[in-house]
Homo-oligomer: A and B are copies of this chain.
């Protein structure tokens, strides 16, 4: 002990590794990689360009391949597995827990998965197929099956002797589950409770029969909310007949919480959550092009709206100069509302019973913001361009667009959720299109009416 966690330790190790790799000192690299915990090696691989990553992987001993694979992010892991021999992959998978196995196999391209399954012996293949039998993003998918179960009618003393005989508990065991003869879950006993219980008591008397179980088909983000809300460390998983099928531990849930929270941010920029920062250029270009293509369409749509006012624009170049201000402010205000509502929905704060209230509130903010920025922009433009009427026109457009922005920002995510479209992914494009079109129409339309 005594040694405190060194901050930013990966940084210096990475520099050391790169130096060793660049100067061809492969023995040092191999040694360095072996001294590190698997999660640090995973971090180093994720922080390396693809070529370096392949070189490093070649220097890592096969014994620890599995431990490192389970720490890697999906895209990086898939890249490495696709480059391995199926037989070596099978060896690496053998030591994995069921949840990591399910996660690893399910994200692989289908032909790679088939090759790997074909290289497995019958027993391993059965285990793999069982791990894959639950839907992705469900409780069954993220659970472990290495649960220790107790019978209600044995004494604590018998349990203690059994555990001592067994010698080793599955990782992160904080609770034992109690099942009856038909494997139905009847209660749970925290490990700490066994320490404080009278050895003569029966399991039945010390167990908690109030705790609740997670149904095997519950979506994993709901599981994560339960863990977060009730500060759980683990939870039993049951099938539809209330039979214990596994347990979920907090370390798997932490990954889901992180991914869910990141998902909105990445989606709002049109990126895949799993996008590897160090993916090859062509792959990244292709991935991002869909989003840019969608944006080009919306930009062309905005241009087409301006095009309707070509006559006005050709008479008054000042309108062309000011034409971007109102759409830009609408876009920013609308995105604030959108982001807030998307987060509110993710946290479970926004629901049927209060969404109408929330929309009214955002409309009120939109109106207030509209008034504030309308007055300000009118003053700036009247002074800059020495034209009071122009100031009034841009002020009117600003007010209209701020209200449109608030209305779209608040209602879009709610509507999209009902239509089962991810609001984080598509919300921001649709919103910007609305604020662009409304902003340009309001500004150039009013200008055409009053200035020509």
A selection of 26 A-B contacts at a CB cut-off of 8 Å is A2-B186, A14-B351, A37-B230, A169-B196, A194-B195, A195-B195, A227-B254, A233-B233, A257-B257, A261-B262, A268-B268, A268-B339, A269-B340, A270-B332, A278-B349, A278-B354, A278-B358, A278-B361, A285-B369, A285-B372, A289-B372, A295-B329, A296-B329, A299-B325, A303-B321, A319-B320
Given contacts A173-B192, A324-B299, A354-B278, contact A343 B376 (CB under 8 A): no
Interface assignment of A425: CB less than 8 Å from any CB of chain B = no
Q: Contacting chain B: which of A57-65, A125-133, A158-166?
A: A158-166
Q: A1-B209, A288-B336 are in contact. Are A353 and B37 (CB under 8 A)?
A: no
Interface centre among A194, A242, A324, A436 (most CB of B within 10 A): A324
| Interface members, chain A 365-418 (any B CB < 8 Å) | 365, 368-369, 372-373, 376-377, 380
Extra inter-chain contacts (17) besides given A231-B251, A278-B354, A285-B368, CB under 8 Å: A1-B188, A4-B212, A7-B222, A11-B353, A14-B354, A39-B230, A48-B354, A172-B233, A254-B254, A257-B261, A268-B339, A277-B349, A292-B333, A296-B377, A299-B328, A300-B380, A313-B313
Q: Is A33 interfacial (CB 8 A cutoff)?
A: no
Residues of A within 8 A of B (CB): 1-5, 7-8, 10-11, 14-15, 18, 37, 39-40, 43, 46-49, 71, 160, 163-164, 166-169, 172-174, 184-188, 191-192, 194-198, 209-215, 218-219, 222, 226-231, 233, 238, 242, 250-251, 253-255, 257-258, 261-262, 264-266, 268-271, 275, 277-278, 281-282, 284-285, 288-289, 291-292, 295-296, 298-300, 302-303, 306-307, 310-311, 313-314, 317-325, 327-329, 332-333, 335-336, 338-341, 343-344, 347-354, 357-358, 361, 364-365, 368-369, 372-373, 376-377, 380, 436
